[in-house]
Amino acid sequence: MGTPDFAVCSLDKIMKSKILIKGVITAPDRNSGRGRKINKSPVKEYAIKNKIPIFQPTNLKDENFQKEIKKLKADLFVVVAFRMLPESLINIPKLGSINLHASYLPNYRGAAPINWVIINGEKETGITVFFLNKNIDEGDIINQKKIKINKYEKAGELHDRLMEEGSNLLAETIIDIFKNRHKNKKQKIKSNDTKAPKITKNICLLSKNEKAEKIINKIHGLSPYPGAFIHHKNKSFKIFGARPHKFVNNSSSFFIYDKKILYNNTMSETIEITEIQAEGKKRMNSSEFIKGNKI
């Protein structure tokens, strides 16, 4: 069960591990764009190419859908970047349902762990394979691996590394479960565990009242999607990359100086913006932007 590219990597690794996939459950097709073109999920595209039966329920609790899934007689359900499952679905396979989560649980439970570890300036994160239960990301842990976060690493770059590492760990874990050599570890859930809630537009807006380091972390934690942004002279600019810079005193908080795009906070700190996108324009590095644009 999965929808985006993150899930395709795991699906491919499972296929190549000679594990029999009885079916794929993914999001319904969507109409998008001016021509209302039908878009299939990356997982569906992969399943079509590899002739895997596909299920696209709008309601996971639907009795007819669940009857169809029971007919597959799958031993295990594997969930990667999907949605919350009802207990009635979780409990169908005899070996249970497992999930790959892109953090070192119990910290960063929730929808956006990759974004939040960078926004919060963490030095490491991880991947976790665990058994699903009725609570989101709180089931028994089967396998985990810690991953170091590189300096100035962006969410997109970390996503790709965790996607690859996670697919390997997941395939190994499935084989361990089938051979009954896995061990479960209960999560110690605490009220002060760091969470990873869904990213909202308000979170993406940069504030001049934050420290430079925090601004840089937020920019990289939201790059490339959904993208941090600032408002300047009634326009929005998305920012995808930044570095610390020595303070440059200027009457504007967002300006071009010495062939660089700079951003000042209210604490006499300056950051250099390295990748930017103006409204209606493509994303580009700052040197390209300066050649044809003004701020």
- In angstroms, the first-to-last Cα distance of the chain is 45
Q: By the 8 A CB rule, do 219 and 207 touch? A: no
108, 116 Cβ separation under 8 angstroms? yes
- Residue 38 has a pLDDT of 86
Place of tokens 């359900």: 77
Amino acid occupying residue 230: I
Q: If DSSP codes are grouped into helix, strand and coil, which group holds residue 99?
A: strand
Of the candidates 237, 233, 259, the one whose C-alpha atom is nearest the C-alpha of residue 248 is: 259
Domains defined for the chain, CATH in brackets: 5-178 (3.40.50.12230), 201-292 (3.10.25.10)
Residue 150 CA: distances (Å) to CA of 44, 117, 123: 32, 12, 7
Smallest CA-to-CA distance from 13 within 165, 181, 183 is with 165
Per-residue pLDDT of the chain (295 residues; tens, 9 = 90+): 999 999 999 999 999 999 999 999 999 998 876 666 889 999 999 999 999 999 999 999 999 999 999 999 999 999 999 999 999 999 999 999 999 999 999 999 999 999 999 999 999 999 999 999 999 999 999 999 999 999 999 999 999 999 999 999 999 999 999 999 999 999 999 999 999 999 999 999 999 999 999 999 999 999 999 999 999 999 999 999 999 999 999 999 999 999 999 999 999 999 999 999 999 999 999 999 999 888 8
Contact 54, 22 (CB under 8 A): no
Beta pairing partners, 2 = 80
Q: What is the pLDDT of residue 32?
A: 72
DSSP conformation letters of 123-186: SEEEEEEEE--SSTT-SPEEEEEEEEPPTT--HHHHHHHHHHHHHHHHHHHHHHHHTT----B-
103/145 Cα distance (integer angstroms): 9
Q: Are residues 81 and 6 in contact, defined by beta-carbon separation less than 8 angstroms?
A: yes
* 80: enclosing H helix or E strand: strand 77-80
Cβ count near 168 (within 10 Å): 15
Look up residue 154 and give its amino acid. Answer: K
Copy the structure tokens of residue 114: 């990759």
- The confidence score (pLDDT) of residue 31 equals 83
pLDDT score at 34? 65
User: How far is 280 from 261, CA to CA, in rounded Å?
Assistant: 19
d(Cα 78, Cα 32) in Å, to the nearest integer? 28
